[in-house]
Amino acid sequence: MLNLPDREKVHRLGLMGGTFDPIHLGHLVTAEEVRIQYGLDHVIFVPSGQPPHKENRTVSEAEHRYLMTMVATITNPYFTVSRVEIDQPSGAPTYTIDTVRYFHEYFGKKVQLFFITGADAILEILTWKDYSELLSICTFIAATRPGYSLNKLKDTLGSACPETMENIDILEIPAVAISSTLIRRRVAEGKTIKYLTPESVTEYIFKNRLYCSINE
The stretch 17-28 carries a mean pLDDT of 95
Per residue in 94-132, pLDDT (tens digit) is 899 999 999 999 999 899 999 999 888 888 888 899 988
Give the C-alpha separation, 116 to 43, whole Å.
9
pLDDT at residue 55, as a whole number: 58
Express as a percent the part of the chain with pLDDT over 90.
60
Cα 118 versus chain centre, distance: 8
pLDDT at residue 52, as a whole number: 65
The stretch 172-196 carries a mean pLDDT of 92
Per residue in 132-161, pLDDT (tens digit) is 899 889 999 999 877 776 677 767 676 666
Long-range CB contacts (< 8 A, 24+ apart) of 125-131?
A: 125/157, 125/164, 125/168, 126/156, 126/157, 126/160, 126/161, 126/164, 127/53, 128/95, 128/96, 128/97, 129/95, 129/96, 129/97, 129/98, 130/95, 130/97, 131/97, 131/164
Per residue in 41-65, pLDDT (tens digit) is 999 999 998 766 655 668 899 999 9
SS3 content of the chain, % helix, strand, coil (to 5): 45, 15, 40
Mean pLDDT, the chain, as a whole number? 88
CA angle, corner 105, sides to 102 and 106, nearest 5?
80
* Boundaries of every domain in the chain: 12-176
Asked if 117 and 142 count as a contact pair (C-beta separation under 8 A), the reply is yes
CATH topology for 12-176 is Rossmann fold (3.40.50)
pLDDT at residue 93, as a whole number: 83
